[in-house]
Amino acid sequence: MKRFALILITVCLTLVACTEGNSLGNSLQPGKDKLTTDTATFALASKSIITDSILQRNPRAILGEYTDPDFGTTKADFMAQLYCPPKFSFPEVTDNEIDSVFLYLFYDEWYGNKNALFETSVYLLDKSLSLDQPYYTNINVDEYCSRKEKLGSATFTPITAKNDWTEAAAYCVRIPLDTDFAQQMLLDYKADSTLFDGPRNFTEYFPGLYVTLSYGNGCMVYVTDAQLELCYNVKFKDKNEVLRDTVAANYFPMTKEVKQVNRYEHPDLSAYLADIESDSLNFIYAPAGLFTEVEFPLNAICQRLTEKNINYARLKVSATAFNDEAWALTPPQKLLLLKEQDIHTFFGEYNKADEINSFLAEYDDDEACYVFNVSDYVQKSIRHADGDLDSTQVFEPFNKMLILPVEEVVNSDKVSLYLLQDTRPSAMKLRSEMKLELVYSSKHQMAM
């Protein structure tokens, strides 16, 4: 009988333990401080915004022309200064004549039809870009290049332009240029070598090059490196003191120490947008085409959730209406949700997402969406409305944000360094019905 009683007591204790385990958090709290959670959902207003330009910070140069069935044509070309190292010199034993000149455009990747036929042309800039000034991608090329002096051109298709000259990249467009301007460079160097003493002196003397397309459509190549090559003969004496000739060259590369500015044009975007505009859709289109603006109902959020703790707040942005055509643009890999007032300063200062004024999200292939965690932003907005921020928490409420494609720059250890606006061609259609979903908690006083 005693054994049966012991078994019964053990079973009862086990049942009590399992029941308490389902509300362990509540069981450990005093009754008057019981923690409860609840959810709330708020609708956000959104709209598409045509973007005429972005700040040029990306070291990659885009060259090409591409027509998307939904968004129309994107044209990309660029102006580039060339780097000259300090104390540069031509060999004293040159024969004083430039034999040949080439511009090399190196790339590993492209977007679109790899067999598209292009002709690229190179012009001499009339006016130098400033090393100290930021430039936007709607730059007026006519202010810097009259196109009166065409230096050369070359035809190519992206897949066939194999690189047989260096190991800089898998593909290379080699453009033969007129030698007259290079011959003048050699003569000017001999007259005053300080013109070639470092990048600042050299860019004042030699403004740079404008690289554009003469014709072609269907592809855009991502130029990672460019070099101007000046070839000439050098005389030397061999071991028998016999005078001989050999070929030598000097190279002026496109580097981060000098300016390279891409220009993007979307000449028919407005017409295409009028055909596809819908109350149920918003758009993202890169490079420098369309952003989506979202407006948070901040007053309603703060009024409803006053003195509440935000456990989690998310904005889910869903892609829809995919285009399955062969060369249709694909969704960008990363999107940034950014305080609208910060659009110019954020990228100019090489920032990362801080989860208060800016939020990063990656594309989820399975769910076809991006999810932004905006918990800290919502919490600080509520605390500000309640007058509950201490003096160290500087925060000014804002309710309008932009959604735009970005590229994350990482170091060799894959640690994030900063964000740039993405210049790779990409596009997506978003559901305009966006909702902010929250989980919040509060403490209720309960009678003893």
* Confidence at residue 58, expressed as pLDDT on a 0 to 100 scale: 83
DSSP code for 364: B
Residue 65 lies in a domain: no
Both 178 and 284 in one domain: the answer is no
Taking only the tens place, the pLDDT of each residue in 79-102 is 999 999 999 998 876 777 899 999
Domain carrying residue 432 = 30-51+267-444
What's the mean pLDDT in 116-143? Answer: 95
Please indicate, yes or no, if residue 58 is contained in any of the structural domains: no
pLDDT at 5 over 90: no
Domain membership flag for residue 181? yes
- The backbone torsions φ and ψ at residue 344, rounded to the nearest 5 degrees and listed phi first, read -90, -40
At 234 the pLDDT is: 79
Q: Which pLDDT belongs to residue 34?
A: 57
Domain contains 88: yes
Question: Same structural domain for residues 261 and 271?
Answer: no
- Can you give the pLDDT at residue 323? 77
Structure tokens at 369: 């969406």
Q: Which one of 248, 265, 282 terminates a domain?
A: 265
201 and 342 co-located in one domain:
no
pTM comes to 0.85
- Kindly state whether residues 271 and 219 are assigned to the same domain: no
Of the residues 245, 265, 285, the one at which a domain ends: 265
Are 405 and 326 within one domain?
yes
Based on the fold, state whether residues 108 and 166 are members of the same structural domain.
yes
**Quick one: pLDDT at residue 3?**
43
In angstroms, the CA 290 to CA 266 distance is 10
* pLDDT of amino acid 233: 84
Q: Where are the alpha helices (DSSP H) in 235-283?
A: 269-276
Query: DSSP letters along 7-70, please?
Result: HHHHHHHHHHHHHHHTTHHHHTS-GGGEEEEEEEEEEEEEEEEE----B---SPEEEEEEEETT
Assess whether 223 and 79 both reside in one domain.
Answer: yes
Residue 297 within any structural domain of the chain: yes
Same domain, 246 and 278: no
Say yes or no: 260 and 214 in one domain: yes
Q: Do 45 and 145 lie in a common domain? A: no
Is the residue at 250 inside a domain? yes
| Tokens 């708020």 belong to residue | 42
276 is written with which tokens? Answer: 């596809």
Mean pLDDT of 158-163: 94
- Alpha carbons 61 and 38: distance in angstroms, whole number: 50
Judgement on whether residues 235 and 274 belong to the same structural domain of the protein: no
Total structural domains in the chain?
Answer: 2
134 and 192 housed in the same domain: yes
* Of the residues 265, 298, 332, the one at which a domain ends: 265
